[in-house]
Amino acid sequence: MSTTQKISIRGLKIGEDQLELLGETVTELVGDAGTVTVKEKGSEGLQIRSRHAVAVNSKFADIKIRFHGANADVGIYVGNDGQIDMAWDGYVVRGNETLKQAFEGRADRHTFEKNLNAMFVAKTFEETAIRKGFVSSGIKRVSLQKEKMGQFELELDTGFSNAFSGDEQKNTLSGSLGGGF
Amino acid sequence: MGKIKVVVTEEGEIKIEAKEGFEGKSCQEAIDFILNNLPTGFEFAELETIRHGNFSIVAENPQQVYTQQD
């Protein structure tokens, strides 16, 4: 008998207090294709349903999606280290016409996970910039029909922010942007 | 004032581009400023490339790679 069990989304870890932003991201990405529920702070989580047995470590999710027309849920889990896991089965989204329209004809788990990852990164950049005094144009998903994929775009205006110095560094990334500047 | 365009692809590639209004190092400083203030614990995928340009300088900028520090 099959078991529904959570599996990590490659590379994506959320920061402290980002569950709300993740919930907002999932809700926007799902759109009219289904219903999203985010657990209350401090609660055990949201029990998910599957056609199969659900693994013990996957029974309670932080975010639950029920796509229209499906009789099972998608569970999204945030680990102690911020790692994002998802538990779901392909039939939950297969044939979902709303997702197909949104994702260039694709309605599969891999596409949804990649879009969730990209949209959450874009939202984190936007939220960080706004918090530091920038003005955002808003995030839009641009569909690249020829490549059968999409990307998330936003423009940030530095405005009159003079906050480019003196702030405490919270997340350290190495790398050089190189010459020309 | 300046404008930065951020593009995140489905493949996890992040492109950051100076659109207008930057001179000297201010664009790099603005990009660094955002990157350095991302939420504690937030990490994006293992392989990310960031490209940036500056319309005021006619020069090709090589792709840049960011990696997380331990």
List, as one string, the DSSP characters of B2-70: -EEEEEEETTS-EEEEEEES--TTHHHHHHHHHHHTSPTT-B--S-EEE----TTS-SPPPPEEEEE--
- pLDDT attached to residue B46: 44
Chain B residues within 8 A of A112 when measuring between CB atoms:
none
pLDDT band at A160 (very low <50, low <70, confident <90, very high): low
Which residue of chain B is at minimal alpha-carbon distance from A12?
B44
Most A CBs within 10 A among B1, B3, B7, B8, hence the mutation to make, goes to B8
Task: Write the CA distances from A171 to A15, A69, B36, B39, integer angstroms.
Answer: 10, 41, 5, 6
- What is the model's pTM? 0.81
- pLDDT attached to residue A27: 97
Question: Is a pLDDT exceeding 80 seen at residue B57?
Answer: no
Mark yes or no for CB contact A15/B19 under 8 Å.
no
Closest C-alpha to A36, from A16, A10, A62, A3: A62
Distance from CA of B23 to the nearest CA of A (A): 8
User: What is the sign of the dihedral through the CA atoms of A133, A137, A143 and A144?
Assistant: negative
Chain A residues within 8 A of B41 when measuring between CB atoms:
13-16, 18, 81-82, 171
- pLDDT attached to residue A54: 86
Is A46 or B45 the better-scoring residue by pLDDT? A46
- pLDDT attached to residue A163: 56
Q: Which letter, b or e, does each residue of A31-67 get, where b requires 16 or more Cβ atoms within 10 Å of its Cβ?
A: eebbebbbbeeeeebbebebeeebeeebbbbbbbbbb
Mark yes or no for CB contact B28/A154 under 8 Å.
no
